[in-house]
Amino acid sequence: MQTLFAFIRAFREYLTLTVLAGISLLLIANSDSTSVQVLRSFSLVSLASLQSSSNWFASLFSSRQDAEALRDVNVTLMEEVMQLRRLRQENLELRRKIGFRDRSQYPLVPAEIVGKSLGIGQNLITLDVGSQDSVTVNMPVINEDGLVGKIIATTGTYSIAMLGVHRDFRATAKVKRARVDGIIAWEEGETLMLHNVSKTADVMPGDTIVTSEYSNIFPPEIMIGVIQSIGPGEGGQFSRIVVIPRVKYASLERVFVVRFRTDAERAAIEDQVFPETEDPR
């Protein structure tokens, strides 16, 4: 017996280590047992209040920094969102224009509007294309919505176009459904008037107005607008037909110049026979 006590005394550290390590391993093996869970819940309840106090103390320093960091991120993201919205709008517009350009049967020269001279009945725009781009006077200007105007002056790299809402603008046009011809001209504001249409002609509000094949300047079937109202004209012989143009002149940014050349021989003979009745050039 004494030998046993002497052995235990001599190796007590090793025996203690063995016992404690054994208990630890036993606990590790039975970590999910009920008794261990009871011990754990007791510890959690005891230390939770201390833990929450330390967390509160830590949050005093971290929450302010977090808020500042989030504010910075927020500003950056807002800027990115605005940029993306602008790019999306531009992308959609360009896609629409590219699609229109592909569909068009005439060669088109894309142009950016670099200047606008807007007044009552004096609406002119300056384009960043000129004679170096094969743009010449009287070439039609259009966009994806329809007829915009026509070129009235050019230099090497710039040109000036008269808009459809200019007081001097005229174009032969027709009602697309009834094939009734007339002359479109500016009326007031952003409305046009279809002149020279008989009171008995088959036209009604909502009819589409397009350019006529009789024009020597504009190619046929280019959209101009829609009839808003029809009333009696001043002379009693013609109707007063108000047309809402399809093109939003106030928000124009990019247009196309149509390389539609005037037939010089036709123009010459028409000028000779009825100089006052065709499109003014």
- x-or-dash string of contact with other proteins, 165-204, rule CB under 8 A: ----------------------------------------
Say how far apart CA 189 and CA 86 lie, in whole Å: 29
Q: How far is CA 194 from CA 100, 242, 243, 251, in A?
A: 26, 6, 7, 23
Which 3 state secondary structure label does DSSP give 112? Answer: strand
Q: How far is the CB of 48 from other proteins (least distance, A)?
A: 9
With beta carbons less than 8 A apart as the criterion, state whether 257 and 141 touch: yes
Say how far apart CA 247 and CA 224 lie, in whole Å: 8
Q: How far is the CB of 36 from other proteins (least distance, A)?
A: 5
Count how many Cα atoms sit within 13 Å of the Cα of residue 111 in the half-sphere of its side chain: 36
Kindly determine how many residues on this chain lie close enough to bind other proteins according to the rule CB under 8 A. 26
Relative to beta strand 146-154, strand 170-175 is unpaired
Residue with Cβ nearer other proteins (17 or 77): 17
- x-or-dash string of contact with other proteins, 5-24, rule CB under 8 A: -------xx--xx--xx-xx
Q: How far is the CB of 37 from other proteins (least distance, A)?
A: 9
With beta carbons less than 8 A apart as the criterion, state whether 229 and 242 touch: yes
Q: Site residues for other proteins, window 23-62 (CB under 8 A)?
A: 23-28, 31, 36, 39-40, 42-44, 47, 50-51, 53-54, 57-58
Could you say which DSSP state residue 229 is in?
A: E
Residue with Cβ nearer other proteins (18 or 277): 18
Residue numbers at the binding site for other proteins (CB under 8 A): 12-13, 16-17, 20-21, 23-28, 31, 36, 39-40, 42-44, 47, 50-51, 53-54, 57-58
